[in-house]
Every structure is written in structure tokens, then in C-alpha cells.
Amino acid sequence: MNRMFAGAPVTASDARAGLRQAEQAMSDASAEAGFADFLAEDAVMLVEGAYALRGRQAIQTWLAAHPLEQGGTPRWEPVRWDVSADGTLGYSVGTATVDVDGATRKAVGRYICVWRQQADGQWRVAAMVRNAATAPMMPPAGFSPANTEPGAAARTLSKDAVLEEAKAADRAFSARSVREGMGQAFTAWAAQDAVMLMGDAGLYGHDAIARAYAPFTLEQLDLRWEPVLGDAAASGDLAYTVGRAIWTGKDAQGQPKKDFLKYLTVWRRQADGQWRYVTDGGNSNPGPQGP
């Protein structure tokens, strides 16, 4: 299946190559039997209009009733993939496409996957958000599929302690959104080489994110959120959070409107010790519970 190593990877570079091979194996398997076999037992999947699907069995049940791809051969095509310093946690960002006989390949979604290496050396998906799209992600010239920013020095901590640091960063991120507006917050907390699903071709880098989020002022809307669950690498440099959010604004007629959301954020600790997001995505929730 997606087994790469008989033991732990020697370097993060090896682990990154293994993660990419695992994602290719998932893409190949999706064409025949779907990707459920690549899910961790406690995997979390975020889909539009439903509370987060928690656990492999719940995800399989949902997929049986709501096939993500129909009428063609599905492909998962990452534009960014990377791993923690200890090679135990990774993430990928990309486009899900369908190859249809006699027709041009079409984009049907964009995704973020968080991958966790298992005790047997296999990579499995721990968390995923997948949203509909009409165009594939198209990185600009010179874009690197690997993290390009210097990382913080590796540390040996409990995963729980690292996750608490990431959750604290997530809560501070939300507090800035409440205080200064969503646009200011998403600009301030973005890593220099962050990648986002939104936009015609995706957003690549801090400056592109700042331009795209500039219109989202405090006067226009109030977005606040809280992390609920997640995981982290014991090397202390990579983590993810999953949580719930509330968006309050006005509809086209100027009437008050409130929407409920859920999200997946991947965090990397920077060289200065600050946690910043390297990718983030979410979709609607039917209510305030969950994620």
C-alpha cells in the first residue's frame, strides 16, 4: 500500500519523499477503490454543510452516500507537501481532479491533508478538508513545493505540549481577528511561504494572502473561532488544529447574517519561535457545535 520504510526515516528529506509517494499511492488507489484505506482510524474529514466526520468508519459511510468523484478517474495532485523535523507529521495541499474519457481534465476540488506516520512506517491521513473548485491550483513560476522558510530548532517535547502551543497561537490568531478584523489577522499570522486554497489559482506567499484578505475589514464582518482538537510532532515544529468558527456580517440586503464554519489549520514554528500558519481551509457547519 503506502509503506515506505521498514523503520523510522533517517532524515526529514526521506520522510518528505515518503509522504509524496504515499499521496501518489492514494491517488492511484482512488481510481479503483477510493481512498478510505489511507485514512487513520481517528481521521477527521471536513466537508461542506456537515459537522466534521470523525473516524474512518464515519468517513467511509459518508463517502458511500456522497461519492466525491463520479464518472471518471480521480487524481490527487499536491502543489505543496512537507513534514516535521522528526518526520512523523506532514501535510499536503493540492487539487482533486477527474479524468473523463474523451474530455479535458476538470477540477472538482481543492484539499488540505494532514498526514501522520504510523508505527509500521506507513503514512495515513489524520485530517482533511476538501472544497469544491472550478479550476486547479496553479503555482506561480519559482514556487517551491517544499517549505522554504528557516525552521525553529528542533525540540523534544510531548506532543500534547506542542499541540497546546499551537492551540494558544490559534486562539491569539482569533483574538486578533476580533480586535482588528479578519484581513489583518490572516495577514499577520501567515508564514512567508503559506499556501491557501482560495483564489482563482490558489494563494501563494504572505504578500498574495495580504492582498486577497485586505477587503475583509472589521467593519465588514466579525470572524472568530476556537480550536477543538488537533495533533503535533514531538519535534515541536509542526502541528494542526481543527475547530469551529462564527462569521457575523450582513447579507446583500444589509440585514444581519450569521454563519457557522469549521476549519483545519496547519502550523509551523518559525526560526524566531513564533507559530504561524502554513495553510488553512474550512467550510460551512450546520450549527455552532462540533467541529
CATH value at residue 105? 3.10.450.50
Indicate the residue type of 277.
Answer: Y
The reply to whether 149 falls in a domain is no
Give per-residue pLDDT as tens, 99-133: 766 566 676 899 999 999 998 889 999 999 999 99
19 neighbors 115 (Cβ within 8 angstroms): yes
Q: Is residue 56 classed as helix, strand or coil in its secondary structure? A: helix
268 neighbors 275 (Cβ within 8 angstroms): yes
pTM: predicted TM-score of the whole model, two decimal places: 0.93
Q: Which domain holds residue 102?
A: 12-131
Indicate the residue type of 56.
Answer: R
Rounded to an integer, what distance in angstroms lies between the CA atom of residue 223 and that of residue 247? 5
The reply to whether 120 falls in a domain is yes
**169 and 267 co-located in one domain:** yes
Rounded to an integer, what distance in angstroms lies between the CA atom of residue 60 and that of residue 53? 9
**80 and 39 co-located in one domain:** yes
- Spatial CA neighbour of 240 closest among 177, 162, 182: 162
Count the neighbouring beta carbons within 10 Å of the beta carbon of residue 127. Answer: 27
Give per-residue pLDDT as tens, 161-176: 999 999 999 999 999 9
**Which residues of the chain have a pLDDT value below 70?**
1-10, 68-72, 100-105, 107
